[in-house]
Chain A
Amino acid sequence: MAECHPVGFQWVMEAKARGAKIIHVDPRFTRTSAVSHVHAALRAGSDIAFLGGLINYVLSNEKDFREYVLAYTNAAAILREDFQDTEDLDGVFSGYDPERRQYDMATWEYEGAPTVPAAGSTDPEQPGEPGSESQHGGEGHQSTARADTYGSGGAAVGGKPKTDETLQHPRCVYQVLKRHFARYTPELVADVCGLPVEQFREIAEAVTANSGRDRTTAWVYSVGWTHHTVGAQYIRTASILQTLLGNIGRPGGGILALRGHASIQGSTDIPTLFNLLPGYIPMPHAHQHQSLDEFVAADAGKTGFWGNMRSYTVSLLKSYWGDSAQPHNDFRFGYLPRLTGDHGTYATVQKQIEGECKGYFLVGENPAVGSANGKFQRLGLANLDWLVVRDLQLIESATFWKDGPEVETGELKPEEIGTEVFFLPAAAHTEKDGSFTNTQRLLQWHHKAVDPPGDARSDLWFYYHLGRIIRERVGDDPRDAPIRDLTWSYPVEGPTGDPSAESVLAEINGHGPDGPLSAYTQLKDDGSTACGCWIYCGVRADGKNQAANRQPGSEQDWVAKGWAWAWPANRRILYNRASADPDGKPWSDRKKLLSWDADQGKWVGPDVPDFEPTKAPDYEPPEGAKAQDALGGRDPFIMQTDGKAWLYVPAGLADGPLPTHYEPFESPVENALYGQQESPTRQTLESPSNPYNPARSEVYPYVFTTYRLTEHHTAGGMSRTLPYLSELQPEFFCEVSPALAAERGLENGGWATIISARTAIEARVLVTERVKPLKVRGRTIHQVGLPYHWGPNGLSRGDAANDLLSIVMDPNVHIQESKAATCDIRPGRRPRGAALPVMVEEYRRRADG
């Protein structure tokens, strides 16, 4: 966190100064480790074993916060008799189809309470589209799990499951969980992660001692947890641990996702993701969602706040199509684009290589350096008709056709690349108005400080005028109606005609018959309200830009509601009903936040309640109640249909109802726990330019992991061209331990060549004690650390670490496993030109032979 989020890390340092114990768990010894009380070096890709070990420690020592667990989680729910755990089936759950590498989730349900799929996914599984055979675990799998279709919140649970409040029933979630993790002992954690047993115990004791009625523990993670074939399950493991310890919805608790760069949270809230509409409303499917009724059908019956799905959707459609969206035309629901399968970034690039995807916009993204398997990315870029790159500098994704690695090796010839590249200089954040939404869901407004240089323009300028010109050009063709009817009217300012960012914020906030809306609870499904993103409704409450609030911390209480605006409804801690006990009293004076004031008949406290403000703790939903009315006064998790935190997920995840330790797809060791080596539902991508290293290969004996440095920004577009930053980290280097350096003859300051089945890259060598050899499964495992910022352009140059990676993905979210893979390393520079692929091929032959 100190390495990649140094500004946010000031608060960790402040917590440390106030007595907090800081534990850093990371394969790498970073700037964070340097100032933490404990650094636990573990093998990249082994975190579920580590976290599972903590869960086992909590359960076997009965250290869970029992009152919290009983009241607010599904611990007491009883599972079906035919459910079988990975403990029973050597690493897979019941319902696994090895042919198709996917699960039938029927046996995962609660007894007596079948799960209902989300948002219109009531159809049986759709067959994979033509051509998807090459993507195992892709479309077909996805529609079974429907992991894409939930927006936020889990799948729906119909009716009330049978429960055992004593938690003794052998099939209740608590007991299932206990058995599932029983073998994740400190000794096993040590064996799998390479962590000393004593250190693991120290951490387990610290985390449990610092959780409960009087204390809370927070977990902070970044892409080190998400970039795995089991990334979603990493987060699930942390969720289970935090829920057992009562660390969710309470001050000082939580699981905080630090995003990759500014406003990535914002780019999922108002998404750049293929499967979401604003506010985590799922994107409709081409075959399943012919009408608005079909689309909201599953949710219309839902309990919890997603029960208002129709209001959120209709208000969104009204903001898109204004007066054209009317009840008789389904509010123009038919105008929305539709999904036909996985349109994620890697699937898109594959379509480029196959010649189906002809045009591409790259806006502030440099996949030729920043995405896994750079060659795969560049081959896609080289097979387009046109490519638009909007960035601050001429990044590698704009110049791949003349100086990319494949041009050097002769695999691509500039004169044979047909892609027409349009490079458009972009304005930086200081050169435009707008907002950032960061990890704590805080919308912070920034004002333009200087005009952008030369022809550089804001993205808002680009998209507004692009849309304006397209709208001028479209004719009367009915298929262009969605574009003609769009609301596209924004006041423009200055000589360059920049649209007003405030007016866009006003559209996002929404308006009703009486002007600007102030809360999402005002949204209606009759077309009387328009709102561009329901969770952002209220950011311009009273017509004022609340995101621009900058009341200093010294002038307000510790919750600091006067600094910017947090979605939803300016709530600072989500699910904060859980900060009080079932009766509405604070769990302790030290950790009080909200409490129920019976005299006033409302929840009181420094934060905005994430709960209906006047719903009493003793409220029992009447029979047949809908939406939030169906949740009781003791159900804090209001986006879930049952209002509970899920220790066990009866539906909604493609890869299992509980997290299970699988080895990374490319791992040097065998799975210590199960015969099943890697995630059975991993999503592979079969392509000649995406070969995999075999597991446990002696040809690729070392683990490598990629990461970032404070001095550079992601793929380098914002830093490698700047002299002041470039001189601080002037070139690409790898980090190795003295032991590995000795084993392979590497010298500090010298050169090394690092090889995978994809390619070979060269890096300067930094030999450091900070990289420790780990004892795993009785063997010494060496790890190679690779910062991934570099490419051939700019002042500070080097090979791209991500070129070494393969594309193998998590089946829920299609994120690649870029944090754990295998390689070889040897001294000296890599071969040049055509000799490079020859060497890589020679390695592959040896590995496959």
Chain B
Amino acid sequence: MAEYGTQPRMGFFTDTSVCIGCKACEVACKEWNGVPDRGELDLLGSSYDNTGALGSNTWRHVAFVEQSKPAAPAPSTVDLGMPDVGAPGQDEPGVRWLMSSDVCKHCTHAACLDVCPTGSLFRTEFGTVVVQQDICNGCGYCVPACPYGVIEKRESDGRAFKCTLCYDRLGAGMEPACAKACPTDSIQFGELDELRERADERVRTLHESGVPEARLYGRDPDDGVGGDGAFFLLLDEPEVYGLPPDPVVTTRDLPAMWKRAAVTAAGVAAAVAMSFLGRRR
């Protein structure tokens, strides 16, 4: 499955359990794609994240989540009745610092693409979703359509921008810039089927090595968007990372809505016709 024409569907598997938050992906993406800097320099006061969120000028975004973790279980050593010296230690909660590089999900059922009136957003031969900048008319329909809040209009330009999964590099047989720059292979690029297998294996390994909280996000082809072309291994609930827990393609109900609208329209038309007919009577 997951084939578009003869070319296998390509995607990202972002394994956040090995992300070190270096932001090389953010910089490599901007360098390769000529994405402008955000202009204003502002310390967000939100851990080491000063990018905030994905947007027209941020196609990769590394989230930094600081968590207090529960205190370790009491040590099982025998109490020798020694005076209590040293740090407070064991009864103090520890800290967990989660890092995760977010990106456009390149959904199987991509609402942005569904709503685009110009055909600027299209599905490539790699199964990715790309905005053709020379066609985009800046209508902005795609912006509210995205269930992840990824795509955004660039204020200075008026058109919509987002990750292209480095469409130009893929065409030249190269991996996307972010994956290339990632030093720990947190961002892995490849055939989606193969990545899903690799991700399943990784989750198994983590579960066996005492990380029961590891789970995949966007891997399931039966979820609300038909599975993501860019999916993730997370160490906590998706909300913790700023990801919607149960994303649904916003155009899912469109056919039904149109159907209902059509019925209603027909009803109205009939009523109007009836009223005319009735008057004639």
Contact B22 A724 (CB under 8 A): no
Judge if B240 is at the interface, Cβ distance under 8 Å: no
Indicate if B260 sits at the interface (CB-CB under 8 A).
no
Q: Taking the complex as formed, is A194 at the interface, i.e. its CB lies under 8 A from any CB of chain B?
A: yes
Chain A residues contacting B68 (CB-CB under 8 Å) are 769
Give me 6 A-to-B residue pairs in the complex whose CB atoms sit less than 8 angstroms apart, sorted by A's number.
A32-B20, A33-B97, A190-B89, A196-B90, A726-B37, A727-B38
Interface assignment of A35: CB less than 8 Å from any CB of chain B: yes
Number of residues from A at the complex interface, CB < 8 A: 51
Contact of A198 among B30, B42, B77, B185 (CB under 8 A): B77
Q: How far is the CB of B261 from chain A (nearest CB, A)?
A: 45
Contact of B86 among A9, A196, A729, A769 (CB under 8 A): A196
Is B37 within 8 A of A727, CB to CB? yes
A769 CA to B86 CA, complexed, in Å: 20
Whether A709 contacts B20 in the complex (CB less than 8 A), given A770-B97, A775-B86, comes out as: no
Contact A724 B184 (CB under 8 A): no
Determine whether the beta carbon of A729 is less than 8 Å from that of B184.
no
Given A726-B41, A730-B41, A748-B45, verify A190-B183 contact (CB < 8 Å).
Answer: no
Q: How far is the CB of B115 from chain A (nearest CB, A)?
A: 31
State the CA gap A733–B73 with chains docked (Å). Answer: 35
Query: Distance (Å) between the CB of B69 and the closest chain A CB?
Result: 10
Per the bound structure, the CA–CA distance linking A34 and B98 in Å amounts to 7
Residues of B within 8 A of A198 (CB): 75, 77, 89-90
Bound CA–CA A33/B74 (angstroms): 22
> B21: which of A13, A710, A723, A774 is its contact (CB, 8 Å)?
A710
B166 at the interface (CB under 8 A from A): no
Knowing A10-B184, A13-B18, A34-B99 touch, does A768 contact B31 (C-beta < 8 A)? no
Residues of A within 8 A of B22 (CB): 2, 6, 31, 710
User: With A724-B30, A770-B66 known to touch, is A6 a contact of B87 (CB < 8 Å)?
Assistant: no
Residues on A with C-beta less than 8 A from B31 are: 724
Shortest C-beta distance, B143 to chain A (Å), equals: 22
Interface string of B97-109 (1 = CB under 8 A from A): 1110000000000
For B26, the chain A residues whose CB sits under 8 A away are 724, 728
In the complex the two chains form, is A766's CB within 8 Å of B45's CB?
A: yes
- Neighbour of B20 across the interface among A2, A731, A765, CB < 8 A: A2
List B153-177 residues whose CB lies under 8 Å from chain A: none
Q: Which 6 A-B pairs have the closest CB atoms?
A: A196-B89, A190-B86, A749-B45, A730-B41, A723-B37, A34-B97
Establish whether residues A195 and B183, one from each chain, have CB atoms under 8 Å apart when the complex forms.
no
**Distance A35 CA – B184 CA, assembled complex (angstroms):** 11
Check: A29 CB closer than 8 A to any chain B CB: yes
Name the one of A197, A727, A748, A772 contacting B51, with C-beta atoms under 8 angstroms. Answer: A727
Q: B250 in the interface, Cβ–Cβ < 8 Å?
A: no
Question: Which residues of chain B are within 8 angstroms of A10 by Cβ–Cβ distance?
Answer: 183-185
B82 beta carbon closer than 8 Å to chain A: yes
In the docked arrangement, what's the CA distance between A768 and B48, Å? 10
| B27 interface residue per 8 A CB criterion | yes
Find chain A residues with CB under 8 A from B44 CB.
749
Contact B51 A728 (CB under 8 A): yes
Most buried by B among A32, A764, A770: A770
A199 and B90 alpha carbons, distance in the complex (Å)? 8
| Residue interface mask A712-733, B partner, CB < 8 A = 1 | 0000000000011111111101
Considering only residues 20-36 of chain A, those with a C-beta below 8 Å from chain B are 29, 31-35
Q: Which residues of B contact A469 (CB under 8 A)?
A: none
Query: Is the pair B89, A730 in contact by a Cβ cutoff of 8 Å?
Result: no
Given contact pairs A9-B20, A29-B97, a sample of 4 additional A-B residue pairs in the complex whose CB atoms are under 8 Å apart: A13-B20, A730-B41, A766-B45, A769-B95
Nearest CB of A to B84, in Å: 10
A190 & B87 in contact (Cβ 8 Å cutoff): yes
User: Please, which residues of chain B bring their CB within 8 A of the CB of A766?
Assistant: 45, 47
Q: Mark B31-70, 1 if CB is under 8 A from A, else 0.
A: 1000001100111110110110000000000000010100
Check A730–B50 contact: CB distance below 8 A: yes
Separation in Å of the B214 CB from the closest CB of chain A? Answer: 14
B24 at interface, CB cutoff 8 A? yes
Interface assignment of A292: CB less than 8 Å from any CB of chain B: no
A33 cross-chain contacts in B, Cβ below 8 A: 97
Name the contact of A191 in the complex, choosing from B86, B89, B183 (C-beta under 8 A). B86
Instruction: Decide if A711 is an interface residue (CB 8 Å cutoff).
Output: yes
A137 to B42, CA, bound (A): 46
Please measure, in the bound complex, the distance between the C-alpha atom of A194 and the C-alpha atom of B17, giving whole angstroms: 29
User: Contacts A13-B184, A710-B22 known; A733 to B43 CB distance under 8 Å?
Assistant: yes
- Determine if A218 is an interface residue (Cβ-Cβ < 8 Å): no
Are A190's CB and B85's CB within 8 A? Answer: yes
A203 adjacent to chain B (CB < 8 Å): no
* Interface residue A7 (Cβ < 8 Å from any Cβ of B): yes
In the bound complex, do residue B86 and residue A764 qualify as a contact, i.e. CB atoms below 8 Å apart? no
A721 to chain B, nearest CB (A): 12
- A183 to B91, alpha carbons, bound, how many Å? 26
Question: From residue B46, how far is it (CB to closest CB) to chain A in Å?
Answer: 9
A558, B90: Cα distance in complex, Å: 41
Task: Assess the A6–B97 pair: CB atoms within 8 A.
Answer: no
Shortest A227–chain B CB gap in Å is 23
A795 interfacial by beta-carbon distance below 8 Å: yes
CB-nearest residue of chain B relative to A194?
Answer: B87
CB 8 Å contact bits of B3-35 with A (1 = contact, 0 = none): 000000000000001101111101100110000
Q: Is B88 an interface residue (CB 8 A)?
A: yes
In Å, the complex CA distance between A748 and B27 comes to 26
With CB as the reference atom, state the residue of chain B lying closest to A41.
Answer: B87
Q: A10-B184, A195-B86 are in contact. Are A724 and B43 (CB under 8 A)?
A: no
Question: Are B45 and A731 closer than 8 Å at their CB atoms?
Answer: no
Q: A33-B97, A198-B77, A727-B50 are in contact. Are A795 and B21 (CB under 8 A)?
A: no
Q: Give residues of chain A (171-224) contacting chain B, Cβ–Cβ below 8 Å.
A: 187, 190-191, 194-199, 201
Q: Which of B26, B51, B85 has the most A CB atoms < 10 Å from its CB?
A: B85
Q: Mark A760-797, 1 if CB is under 8 A from B, else 0.
A: 00001110111010111010000000000000000110
B42–A769 CB distance below 8 A: no
Q: Please give the distance in Å from B224's CB to the nearest CB on chain A.
A: 31
Assuming the contacts A33-B97, A187-B82, A191-B86, asked whether A6 and B24 have C-beta atoms less than 8 A apart, the reply is yes
A 316-347 binary contact with B (CB < 8 Å = 1; else 0): 00000000000000000000000000000000
* Residues of chain A within 8 A of B85, CB atoms compared: 187, 190-191, 197, 778
How many Å from the CB of A346 to the closest CB on chain B?
A: 33
Chain B residue nearest in CB terms to A796: B41
B50 adjacent to A34 (CB under 8 Å): no
Q: Find out whether the CB atom of B42 lies under 8 angstroms from the CB atom of A187.
A: no
- Residue on B with the closest CB to A2? B20
Given contacts A7-B183, A9-B183, A770-B95, whether A709 and B48 have CB atoms under 8 Å apart is yes
Residue of B nearest to A197 (CB): B86
CA distance A729 to B50 in the complex (A): 6
A residues in contact with B185, CB < 8 Å: 10, 13
> Residues of B contacting A201 with CB < 8 Å?
77
Closest residue of chain B to A769 (Cβ to Cβ) is B95
A35 to B95, CA, bound (A): 12
Which residues of chain A (771-827) have a CB below 8 Å from chain B? Answer: 772, 774-776, 778, 795-796
Contact A775 B43 (CB under 8 A): no
Q: Which of A428-446 contact B (CB under 8 A)?
A: none
Docked-complex contact A769 and B27, CB < 8 angstroms = no
Residue of B nearest to A187 (CB): B85
With both beta carbons as reference points, the residue of chain A lying nearest to B68 in the complex is identified as A769
Closest chain A residue to B88, Cβ basis: A775
Partner of A764, one of B45, B51, B75, B97: B45
Given A196-B87, A196-B90, answer yes or no on A728-B23 (Cβ-Cβ < 8 Å).
Answer: yes
- Whether the pair B77, A35 counts as a contact (CB closer than 8 A) is no
Q: Quick one: CB contact mask for A330-374 with B, threshold 8 Å, 1 for yes?
A: 000000000000000000000000000000000000000000000
Chain B residue numbers with a CB within 8 Å of A768 are 47, 66
CB distance from B110 to the nearest CB of A (A): 28
With A and B bound together, what is the CA distance between A729 and B41 in angstroms? 8
Q: Which A residues are in CB contact (< 8 Å) with B47?
A: 766, 768
Contact of B66 among A765, A769, A772, A795 (CB under 8 A): A769
